[in-house]
């Protein structure tokens, strides 16, 4: 039974990875090489940081958390390489991460480990389900959703092409490159170097991180609580919650994936690895990194209240991790040209604004929002937990007061902090409270899992399974609906839902040169076509495009090797920001006619908002 469960989990994962994508999907060999690179890079980095120690007797746990520690280490490895000007070309970090494992494996006897228990295999099923759901939702449409994903496409494409995350002075390629922590875009850019689709890379490996987070969480909670059933329930609840593990493409996904390996290393007393992992956590995503720091401070508090002797060790880990993270933060924060902003929260905090990330009419979530999840709203973190889940959290809350162990106190403190931040709309300090929908479960799910385990101990296994089934019904159902729905995209907002002109790009071969006369280059990059936003001539030519002659346009397109050009209503929007509406309408109509008469451009598509032209040589 145990082996069949493991086989099922592997088959679900591989089936989703190789079969689900139906558009903008690279050849199978590119998928295989991308997966092999990510697996070897993560495992090798984790093996190196943990010095090849067999820190777990359970064979499956050992291999999983080596990869997990590697994922938490990769942000630091990326920063070190770029800081010392070593090219971020995929063979470089891969070779560096495999040097020590290769030496260590050849020089050491076989590790003495035991086979894993069945709960670990079921946790892998939960992880495979989380990955499959996120991936299926991502590929429910061919475009990238919202605005962040297009920015990440530009950042990943830049790293893939230039082998660095450092941009030329004054050239803004993506908001998510420095001074914003570039680990997420850089990791995706490294993977993209092995395949032809940046869109597939973003969607697939963001979903991969979602799935890995679930199994990393299982290993941490199992070690933290010493209870494999609590760990299994925890992993299932994370998979089921609508607000946790969205397929939205943003750096938060990587940040949460690093959280569990870091705390795993702390619990296992692997202090050196923990310090490195903590540094990785701190240079991944500004707000989530800060929350992880608070979680660690609360963890230290809970541990030292029961055993003061631990404070020195835990404080040293935190101090070392913060000091190492300064490799990135000191240059980023002191650079003379830091771009337009680092992050909304950081910018506002420097202005002493302690109420950030919401509009005044927003209100603290009431009981209805907590109990009844929504299937629409913020695609990054859907609102609501679910009735059965909330009941279990309350039951776990009261049971833990009777069991004052360090892990129970930590779970309580994490839940209190995150829930207070979620409900902080009316408080003097409130920073992106909506972002805490997905952070409350980090602690609260331990309470819910403890309650489910208590039910099983008191009333039998069927009672615990019934509780899990109710969570799946009152939380998981809403997550499936939300994650597989048709999500909007920035193109649709700008062009009033007329996205077909850009969707047509799916039919063109990867890296086809397509110049968007009106929209930013990221909207072409995100459809796997090429128009480099890191080229000042490309971005500069778009300014005042309707004032340029057709001869100038033809010369520019020919010089830069463009095969297609897209003209859309955003040109009018750009114009209206500087001139009156009537003037812009006249200019837009006149330029549209000029494009139609241009002998070097052949129109191949037209709708109310968009026209696509093939460049004729």
Residue 500 has pLDDT above 60, yes or no: yes
Residue 218 has pLDDT above 50, yes or no: yes
Residue 460 has pLDDT above 70, yes or no: yes
pLDDT of residue 108: 75
pLDDT of residue 392: 97
Question: Under CATH, what is the fold of the domain 490-615?
Answer: Rossmann fold (3.40.50)
Handedness of CA 426, 430, 432, 434 (dihedral sign): negative
Confidence band (pLDDT; 50, 70, 90) for 352? low
Q: What is the mean pLDDT of residues 37-65?
A: 94
Confidence band (pLDDT; 50, 70, 90) for 307? confident
Reported as a single tens digit per residue, the pLDDT across 267-306 is 999 999 999 999 999 999 999 999 999 999 999 999 998 8
Query: Which of the two residues, 506 and 379, has the higher pLDDT score?
Result: 506
Residue 507 has pLDDT above 90, yes or no: yes
Percent of the chain surpassing pLDDT 70:
95
As given in the structure block, the two tokens for residue 114 are 């035991």
pLDDT of residue 339: 44
Handedness of CA 590, 592, 596, 599 (dihedral sign): positive
Confidence band (pLDDT; 50, 70, 90) for 599? very high
Alpha carbons 130 and 254: distance in angstroms, whole number: 15
Q: Is 338 helix (H, G, I), strand (E, B) or coil?
A: coil
Q: What is the mean pLDDT of residues 159-170?
A: 93
As given in the structure block, the two tokens for residue 190 are 């490294």
Reported as a single tens digit per residue, the pLDDT across 516-551 is 999 999 999 999 999 999 999 999 999 999 999 999
First to last CA, the chain: 65
pLDDT of residue 54: 87
Long-range contacts of 84-91 (CB under 8 A, 24+ apart): 87/163, 87/164, 88/159, 88/163, 88/164, 88/165, 88/186, 88/189, 88/190, 89/163, 89/193, 90/37, 90/190, 90/191, 90/193, 90/194
How buried is residue 162: exposed, middle or buried, by Cβ count under 10 Å (0-12/13-18/19+)?
middle
Residue 468 has pLDDT above 80, yes or no: yes
CB 54, CB 62: distance < 8 Å: yes
pLDDT of residue 163: 98
Reported as a single tens digit per residue, the pLDDT across 96-121 is 999 999 998 888 767 777 777 889 99
CB 181, CB 284: distance < 8 Å: yes
Residue 448 has pLDDT above 70, yes or no: yes
Alpha carbons 53 and 66: distance in angstroms, whole number: 10
Reported as a single tens digit per residue, the pLDDT across 550-592 is 999 999 999 999 999 999 999 988 888 888 889 999 999 999 9
Residue 343 has pLDDT above 90, yes or no: no
Phi, psi of 307 (to 5 degrees): -155, 95
In eight-state DSSP terms, residue 504 is: G
Residue 136 has pLDDT above 80, yes or no: yes
Give alpha helix (H) positions in 108-164.
118-138, 148-162
Show Cβ contacts of residue 280 under 8 Å, excluding neighbours closer than 6 positions. 72, 73, 74, 75, 76, 183, 258, 262
Alpha carbons 23 and 131: distance in angstroms, whole number: 18
Q: Which of 495, 490, 521, 512 is nearest to 611 (CA)?
A: 495
Confidence band (pLDDT; 50, 70, 90) for 340? very low
Q: What is the mean pLDDT of residues 461-485?
A: 96
Q: What is the mean pLDDT of residues 172-176?
A: 92
Buried b (16+ CB within 10 A) or exposed e, 257-289: bbbbbbbbbbbbebeebbbbbbbbbbbbbbbbb
Residue 64 has pLDDT above 50, yes or no: yes
Query: Which of the two residues, 36 and 308, has the higher pLDDT score?
Result: 36
Percent of the chain surpassing pLDDT 90:
76
Residue 349 has pLDDT above 60, yes or no: no
Residue 345 has pLDDT above 60, yes or no: no
Q: Where are the domains of the chain?
A: 2-335+344-483, 490-615
pLDDT of residue 116: 75
């Amino acid at each position: 039974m145990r082996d069949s469960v493991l086989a099922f989990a592997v088959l679900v994962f591989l089936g989703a990875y190789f079969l689900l994508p139906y558009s903008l999907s690279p050849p199978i060999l590119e998928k295989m090489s991308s997966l092999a690179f990510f697996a070897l890079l993560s495992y090798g980095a984790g093996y190196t940081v943990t010095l090849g120690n067999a820190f777990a007797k359970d064979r499956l746990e050992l291999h999983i958390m080596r990869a997990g520690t590697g994922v938490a280490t990769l942000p630091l490895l990326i920063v070190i390489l770029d800081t010392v000007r070593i090219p971020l070309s995929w063979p470089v970090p891969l070779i560096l991460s495999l040097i020590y494992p290769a030496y260590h494996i050849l020089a050491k006897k076989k590790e003495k480990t035991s086979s894993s228990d069945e709960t670990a295999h079921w946790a892998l099923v939960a992880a495979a389900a989380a990955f499959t759901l996120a991936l299926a939702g991502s590929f429910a449409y061919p475009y990238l959703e919202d605005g962040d994903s297009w920015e990440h496409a530009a950042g990943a494409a830049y790293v893939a092409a230039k082998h660095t995350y450092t941009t030329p002075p004054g050239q803004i390629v993506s908001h998510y490159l420095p001074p914003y922590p570039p680990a997420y875009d850089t990791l995706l850019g490294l993977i993209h170097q092995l395949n032809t689709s940046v869109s597939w890379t973003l969607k697939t490996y963001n979903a991969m991180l979602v799935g890995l987070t679930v199994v990393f969480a299982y290993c941490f909670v199992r070690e933290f609580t010493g209870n494999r059933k609590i760990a299994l329930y925890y992993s299932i609840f994370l998979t089921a919650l609508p607000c946790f593990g969205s397929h939205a493409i943003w750096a938060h996904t990587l940040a949460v994936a690093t959280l569990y390996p870091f705390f795993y290393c702390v619990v296992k007393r692997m202090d050196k690895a923990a310090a490195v992992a903590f540094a990785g956590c701190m240079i991944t995503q500004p707000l989530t990194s800060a929350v992880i720091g608070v979680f660690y401070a609360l963890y230290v508090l809970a541990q030292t209240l029961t055993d003061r002797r631990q404070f020195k060790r835990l404080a040293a880990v935190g101090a070392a991790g913060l000091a190492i993270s300064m490799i990135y933060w000191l240059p980023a924060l002191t650079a003379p040209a830091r771009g337009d902003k680092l992050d909304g929260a950081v910018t506002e905090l420097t202005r002493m604004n302690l109420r950030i990330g919401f509009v005044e009419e927003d209100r603290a979530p009431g009981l209805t929002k907590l109990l009844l999840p929504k299937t629409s709203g913020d695609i990054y973190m859907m609102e609501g937990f679910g009735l059965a889940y909330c009941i279990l959290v309350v039951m776990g809350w009261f049971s833990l007061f009777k069991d004052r162990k360090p892990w129970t106190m930590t779970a309580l403190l994490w839940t209190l902090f995150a829930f207070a931040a979620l409900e902080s709309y009316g408080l003097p300090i409130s920073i992106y409270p909506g972002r805490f929908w997905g952070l409350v479960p980090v602690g609260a799910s331990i309470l819910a899992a403890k309650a489910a385990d208590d039910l099983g101990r008191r009333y039998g296994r069927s009672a615990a399974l019934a509780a899990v089934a109710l969570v799946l019904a009152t939380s998981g159902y809403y997550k499936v609906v939300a994650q597989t729905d048709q999500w909007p995209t920035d193109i649709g907002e700008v062009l009033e839902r007329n996205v077909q002109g850009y969707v047509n790009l799916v039919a063109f071969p990867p890296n086809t040169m397509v110049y968007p006369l009106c929209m930013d280059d990221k909207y072409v990059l995100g459809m796997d076509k090429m128009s480099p936003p890191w080229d000042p001539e490309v971005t500069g030519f778009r300014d005042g495009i309707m004032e340029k002659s057709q001869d100038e346009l033809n010369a520019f397109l020919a010089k830069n090797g463009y095969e297609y050009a897209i003209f859309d209503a955003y040109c009018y929007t750009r114009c209206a920001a500087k001139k009156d509406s009537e003037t812009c309408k006249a200019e837009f109509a006149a330029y549209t006619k000029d494009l139609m008469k241009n002998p070097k451009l052949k129109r191949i598509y037209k709708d109310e908002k968009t026209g696509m032209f093939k460049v004729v040589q």
